[in-house]
Amino acid sequence: MSAEQQTNQTAAEQTLLDALTSEVLSDQAGRQLFDLADLLDQEKSLLRALTDPGRSSADRQALARNLLQDRAVTPVVNALVQLAGQHWSRPDTFRKTVEDLGVRAILHGAKFAGELSRVEDELFALNQLASLERELRIRLSDVGGTNDEERQAITDRLLAGKVADPTLALVKRAVHISGRGRLLQTLRHFAERAAQAHNAQLVTVATATELTDAQLARLRDLIKTQVGGDISLAVSVEPDLIGGFRINYGDEAADSSIRSELGAARRALTR
């Protein structure tokens, strides 16, 4: 996403969140934005019309308003009208922005309910579970021979009543939009957005053995210094690392595991 389009998304996001004044309204807006993203994915001509640089900004905004009139809450209408009035070099970036606004609306509702930290923790834990359980990943993806309705039902059976409602909504959305091999990536993205919602950078740490409280505190301080701001730390134990740790945040990664060193040695020997 270009800097201009990132600015467009940030502005529309602020417009949306400022107008969402309750948990119920936030949840309603999030689901409507997800439906709109699906519509734009199915109706390519409509997506092109909303982003066509050959049409005036006012014309695109009128189209957006007419599209959602009596079909969406006012904050959603206003956010889409704002997006339609801006320049988009790629139509699919517009659609993805609508999708992401839906995620932010659901998380905003979690914040109203005092469950934002819980939702972040649950999304990360489910991402870790899916990464370790291949059969689960297959059942929740389009490679498992099930349709979306069946995958949604599986998700309900596994998670309904066991996780926060916003977590369930986001996991079901991840299952819906994640094609081949993208479920883990989507769940991680949602967890990162949850961290950003309370102004923190999500940092994931995989260790070969469980860390002590003192080690966790020292690691948190070191990472905060490196990142240069507040962090939300999610730690998992992966015995397969053999020793050391692996850290990921944003586009940065640090891997000091023995497994990584052995892999590097193998690659060097085969050159």
Q: What is the dihedral of CA 104, 108, 110, 111, to 10 degrees?
A: 130
CB 254 within 8 A of CB 246: yes
**Of the candidates 31, 34, 12, 23, the residue with the CA atom closest to the CA atom of residue 78:** 12
Q: Which of 1-5, 120-124, 140-144, 201-205 is modeled with the greatest confidence?
A: 120-124
Q: What is the pLDDT of residues 146-183, one digit of tens each?
A: 788 999 999 999 999 999 999 999 999 999 988 666 88
Q: Could you say which DSSP state residue 211 is in?
A: P
> What whole-number distance in Å separates Cα of residue 46 and Cα of residue 38?
12
Phi, psi (degrees; rounded to nearest 5) at 5:
-70, -30
Q: What is the pLDDT of residues 7-57, one digit of tens each?
A: 878 888 888 999 999 999 999 999 999 999 999 999 999 999 999 999 999
Tokens for 264, please give them.
Answer: 């590097």
Classify each residue of 92-124 as buried b or exposed e, where b means 16 or more C-beta atoms within 10 Å of its C-beta: ebbbbbbbbbbbbbbbbbbbbbebbbbbbbbbb
Does the pLDDT value for residue 270 go beyond 80? no
- pLDDT value at residue 265: 45
Helices (H), 85-209: 91-112, 116-132, 134-139, 148-159, 165-177, 183-197
